[in-house]
Amino acid sequence: MPAPPMVVPGRRRQLELLRSWSGWALTSILLEPAEVAHVRDGGWACSHHRDQDTGERIVGTHGGLGFGVDESWRNPREVIPWSQIEEIAREVPADVRDELIEFRARWRAHQSAYPRFTASAAAVGCGPIIPGEPLTPRQQAYVREHEEFEASGVLPAWEQQKTALESERLGLHDQALRAKSVEEAGDLLELLDDQQLGQPLAAAPAGELLRQTAGRATALGDPDESCGAAAPRPGLFPPNPQPQSRDELSPGTRIASPRSGVSR
């Protein structure tokens, strides 16, 4: 059986992996974090992708977005939980999200203006062109108009603009996933991860205590500070007296043994 995937805990590694997921699904999530649910429910159709640099497969699983998927598009090596992806999207600064919104409007306008060849009324209904047979007047009009459309260069210009927009989209991905606030949140998460691993007692600042709670070390000041007002502390009691051995007792304090019935 394949080994279970590793859930990626560190934010820096999460951002590094997400930058390789250049599909439109990530664009939708960065624009609207709630789209995570749609991508998750869409499964393979919404999330499958290949890393443009390494060719590694990326696909959504029930638990999160999987990276390093095998040839069957299953068994990822690393997984980022969907909740973490949504959290990252919510940390994108407002100015970067505004740029994404403006880009989406320009992209939609570009897509709706796709240049399509449309024959005139004189060429519509020309029928199939059969090689070796003479062209009808309608067929001649259709061929002439189609050649003019190709010579105009509108379609290559549209394709060139699409390529430029795609490059801009990926640049916005990189900008969103490298934003200062997102990086700072990643630094904080990694710091918390380090603290959870436990630090030596000697590393604690002077005058502070370390309390071990659920396997993590937390630096504390006055133990009563976390409880609001200081509660009265119980008084100190002397230790309970320990019984002395029979040899340590003085001759005047020795008592008769219950077994022998005589004193020593």
Cβ atoms of 158 and 149 within 8 Å: the answer is no
Token look-up 């939980």 returns: 81
Give the model's pLDDT for residue 223: 35
Domain range enclosing 144: 102-126+139-176
* pLDDT value, residue 234: 42
Q: For the chain, what is the domain count? A: 2
Tens digits of residue pLDDT in 185-243: 555 555 555 555 444 434 444 444 333 333 433 333 333 433 344 444 344 334 444 44
Is pTM beyond 0.85? Reply is: no
The DSSP H or E segment spanning 64 is strand 64-69
Query: What pLDDT does 184 receive?
Result: 61
Residue 138 pLDDT > 90: yes
pLDDT interval class at 179 (50, 70, 90): confident
171 in a domain, yes or no?
A: yes
* Domain-embedded: residue 114: yes
Give every strand in the sheet of 64-69, ordered side by side. 6-7, 78-81, 64-69, 57-60, 49-50
Q: Is position 34 within any domain?
A: yes
CA distance linking residue 119 with residue 125, whole number of Å: 9
Same domain, 80 and 36: yes
Show which of 176, 204, 236 is a domain's final residue. Answer: 176
Sign of the torsion angle spanned by Cα atoms 154, 160, 164, 167: positive
Q: Give per-residue pLDDT as tens, 81-107.
A: 999 999 999 999 999 999 999 999 999
137: helix, strand or coil: helix
Does 66 share its domain with 10?
yes
Task: State residue 84 phi and psi, 5-degree precision.
Answer: -70, -40
